[in-house]
Every structure is written in C-alpha cells, then in structure tokens.
Structure 1
Amino acid sequence: MVNVGPMRPLLARHRRPLAVLCAVAAVLLVRLPQTSPPGGDVLVAARDLPGGTPLTSGDVRIIRLRPPPSGALSGLPESAVLAAPVRRGEPLTDLRLLGPALLDAHAPGLVAAPVRIPDSVLGALVRPGDRVDVLAVPEAALPASGPPPAPLVTAAPVLAVPPPDGSSGALLLLAVTRPEAAALAGAPHLTLSLHPPVPS
C-alpha cells in the first residue's frame, strides 16, 4: 500500500494558487470560441482633401478595418468626386461622394438641385451640412417701403459645394422637393442666407 500522507500537506499548500489558475483557464476557454467581427478592405484618404476633389489612386490608400464602416468603399469608383472635405486617414463612404447616395441621409422624396448664386464670397462661407434659405432677387431694386422677397426654399440642406469651374458666382447642391427645384430653376437671380440649425 502506497503512503500518500506527505502529499496532502503539499496539495493543501498549493490549493489556492491552483484554484486561481483554473479560474483563469476557464475564462480563457470561454473567450476563445468568440470570433471577432469580420474585417474588410476600406479606402481612406491618403492626405487632407478639400471638397470637390476628383479622386485618383494617389489620393487614397487601402487599410483593413474590423468591422468596416457602413457604406465604406473598398475600391475607387470611376470619376469619383468628393462632396465634402475629408481628413487624412478618414474612411471614404458612399455619402462622401457626389452622387445619388448624398440624399440617403435625408427625407424621402427630395432631389439634388444645383443652385448658382452671383456672390462667390457668400458661397465660400457655405459648407456641406449647412442649411440655407434661398431667395429670388428682383432685377430692379425694391422701394424702401416694399416687402422683402419671400424665400423660395427654407432650411434646405447643403449636400455639396463643388469647386469653382471658371463661371461667375458660386454653385451649391441642395436637397429640396421637386416643386422647390422647379421654382429655383425658374428664378433668374438668387441669393441665400444661412439658416439657424434645425433642433434635433
């Protein structure tokens, strides 16, 4: 018969460290089966880029993100143009490019309408995400007692501010209803004012 008497004090002395090791092992075993979210290749800006930039392969680089942002681009679309400025390393999504996706974040039924105003300095103050009121400017000066022009559009979201194209004034892309787009297209002279932020 084997004498195991001396083993009992040894086990008692190491019982607590062994219990701690078992607890750590149990935690690790529980975590091992958990899988990380799938990763994906994502385009990011290779440098700070202004809005209106026609993107080329030198403007972007590919990194792997886990998980990739919603709407992230894994390849550079043909004739892609930035709708707004981006910072170096910022992931590029469909909402960052000029195109139909710009309206995805807005109410259904809106269209993207280009609006040109003659004041390029005023246009330079506007940024994507701003809201503006657009007013028709009469060709003749209004009398001092006359009413001010009524806005054709109120609190229209600015989708993009394309870069200067050599024409006079400034061009903006606004999210408006179809009737508002028709009114804007029929007005020969337009100006705008920045609208206070809309309460969320």
Structure 2
Amino acid sequence: MRGAGAVGERVFGRGRRGAWRRAVTRRLLAAGLAAGAVLGGLAVARAPEGGPRVHVVVAARGLPAGHEVSAGDLAVSSRPADYAPSGAPSSTAALVGRRLAGPVTAGEVMTERRVVGAGLLAGRPADEVAAHVSVADPGALAMVRPGDSVDVVTGTGATVAHSATVLAVGPESGQEAAGLGFTADVAGPGLVLAVTPEVAAGLASAPPHETGGSGLTVVLRRH
C-alpha cells in the first residue's frame, strides 16, 4: 500500500494539489467509462440484431441425409434479416415431405438447397417403382423424352416392359440426365421408367444372351 501511495504522490504530487489532481483524474476516468458504455449501446442498436427481422425455418433437431422431413422436424425462428440466407423459406410447408440432401444440425436455417426435389415418382401410383434401363443406342435415347410411353424389347424379340412411362432420359457421358440430375458416371446412358416391381425384376434379370448382343430396343408408343 505504501508503494502505491508513493507512486501516487510522485504522479499527482502531495497535499491539496495532489488530492485535487487525483479527484479530477477519477472523474475523467468515470466519464470515459460512461461514454464507452453509451457508444457500445449505440453500436448494438445499429447492429443487425437491432434491425429488421424475418422468419426462417430451422431444424428442430439433428437430422441425417435422406431423411423425409416432417412438420415435427422443423421450427420457425425470427432472425436478423442480414443474417438470413437468401431465399430461405418462411414457412415449413415448402419443406415438409421432402428429403434431405445432406445431414443438418439442430438450429440450422433450412433452405431449398438442403432438400432434394419431390422425386421421380411424385404423383405416380403407389404400386410403381423407378427402374433404370441401360440403352446403348444413342438414337433410342434421342427419340424419347420424360412423359413418353415406351415398350422395351430384348434382342430376341421379347417385350420386357409394355407401355412404361419415361421418368427421365439418361445422358451421354458427362451430361446431366433430363429431369433427374444423375450423370452417366453414376447411372450410365439409358432411361428411367415407371414400372411395377414385377416388371422391374424382369428387366433386371433378363439373361445377357436375350439382348442379342445389341442391347435393349426402345419402342416409342403413341399416347
């Protein structure tokens, strides 16, 4: 304590003048701290937290990739507009029933990029499945488009799929499939068809010799 007092006397001096200097210094320090608090409050008020707010949809809990989102998986939260991702949905309706493109963490703001589309079988009968059929002939791929109805015939003339609806048309190498988003490196050139599970099994189990060495033939049918 004596050491501190000795330092104070050397800085401010002794007697009444020293006491006056110490009092003035304390007042200036107090005023400086008060001004700093006011400026800090103004900075907070001007920050995004004090600005306009918007509603965003957040994950109510951690969810794995491929999970079908339900209303209970989501919550609506108010966030500063400057912190909300562009195009983030403001209601859960746009996300319920869709599948996650990747895992999400609890509290994460949900956007359209975090979910995949409604799916190839959206609106199709419940007893149908999507089956990929490899088609080596580029001419066969060029003549069909999603929504067409086709027959699939083997090289021996056996019809393995009749009046199947085309859901997507596979690409040439490196191109994206129309209406699906897969690439040739994943699925190979061909068609994705809406068929029954029995027809899908027949397409998958056709012996190689039935293709006649030239692959499957696609026959376009008139609607």
Q: Given the two structures, how large is their TM-score scaled by the length of structure 1?
A: 0.44
Select the structure that is richer in helix: 2
Q: Which has the larger radius of gyration?
A: 2
Higher relative contact order (CA 8 A, sep 6+): 1
